[in-house]
Amino acid sequence: MPPVLAPAPAGSTRRAFLAASAGLALLVAGCTAGSAEAPAVSTEEADRLAGQVAVQEAVVAAYAAATTADPALTLSDLAAQATEQLDRLRAAAPSPTASPAASSAAPPAPPAGGDVRTWLREQVAAAASAHARACARQTGARAALLGSIAAGLRGHEAALA
């Protein structure tokens, strides 16, 4: 009589294995990262992060401008995500004051009678690129945050396509 193979337990799927592996990696990274004091933020890093706050403020303003220019656009979820990203950037910025570049970073107005969605997608793509470039010039959690926001904005760009 041939041997009967027992079915695999329900919890041992490939997805469960990947989730457990990712969780273990985060646990190990968290244990090693928390064991030493966080490095001080250099003035240059702080200034660059403040510049990225201004970039994200421009994204939030672009969503507001696009919604005003074309009320038929349903952008509330994406706009809320952009605002949440801005809040996280502000919390990570070492200085509680607003950057002087914030007022000059506002996007241009959407084209009158033009394709507002395409304009917004271009604004989001430019911000994602700026965050990705700045990510390489930061360290630790600030770099991870900028990378995460850049990736999130790339998702917005795809959703706006």
94-150, pLDDT tens digit by residue? 765 444 444 455 667 887 778 999 999 999 999 999 999 999 888 888 899 999 999
Percentage of the chain modeled with pLDDT above 70: 66
What burial class does residue 43 get, using C-beta atoms within 10 Å of its C-beta: 0-12 exposed, 13-18 middle, 19+ buried? Answer: exposed
Summarize the confidence of residues 9-37 as an average pLDDT: 46
Distance, CA of 6 to CA of 1 (rounded, Å): 15
Which strand (E) or helix (H) includes residue 148?
A: helix 140-160
CA distances 43 to 15, 37, 95, 138, Å, are 43, 18, 10, 11
Residue 131 contacts residue 95 (beta carbons within 8 Å) = no
What pLDDT, on a 0 to 100 scale, did the predictor assign at position 94?
72
Radius of gyration from C-alpha coordinates of the chain? 21
What pLDDT, on a 0 to 100 scale, did the predictor assign at position 138?
86
What's 74's DSSP letter? -
pTM equals 0.68
Q: 152 pLDDT exceeds 80? A: yes
Distance, CA of 120 to CA of 57 (rounded, Å): 14
Longest dimension (CA), the chain: 80
Residue 134 contacts residue 146 (beta carbons within 8 Å) = yes
At CA 24, angle to CA 148 and CA 137, rounded to 5?
30
Q: Pick from 78, 91, 86: which is nearest to 52 by CA?
A: 86
